[in-house]
Structure 1
Amino acid sequence: MIGQIIEKEHIAAYKIIPAAEDKTNSLHDKLLSAQRLGNEFKSKTTIVFQTEDGPKRIETTVWSLTEKYIQIKSGVLIPLKSLIEVDF
């Protein structure tokens, strides 16, 4: 899996930008499953997203999924267009 591991609390220190390829549609079902895992089972998901400093990877619980964002702990939003990989 690609991406430098960072703590989810440090996301604000990075400028999130769109990934080279928009994988919103292909990741949608996986994101729905990640949200269900987070809400029902408190399971963590590995998320890789693009920043100006290159890909970053976090392990976190997905709280909610909207048309344009995933929301994680503390109300942090990550744009779907910036996602590179999602795994659990």
Structure 2
Amino acid sequence: MAVSIDTLGKALRHNMLVVATCPQCERQARFLASDLGNFYGHGRDPRSLPFRCKECDRRDCRITLMDYPFDRTPETIVWRPVKVRG
């Protein structure tokens, strides 16, 4: 039976990355599920997170989950969430 991963806590247990992709410019950002879980809460659905594209300022990013690539190349960048004062 396949388990659906619908929370950041479940993605954390499987050591996954959350990938946000802009539909317009195809820019991608990868985040550790553990970092996002600590920031937003482990019960939060990853597809409901408020991502915004840095290049074209769109807010309707496509969210996918992927396994952590253990043979990561130096070109793979993993971002960390931060709170911005405004």
Q: What range describes the TM-score normalised by the shorter chain of this pair?
A: 0.3 to 0.5
Scaled by the length of structure 2, the TM-score of the pair is 0.33
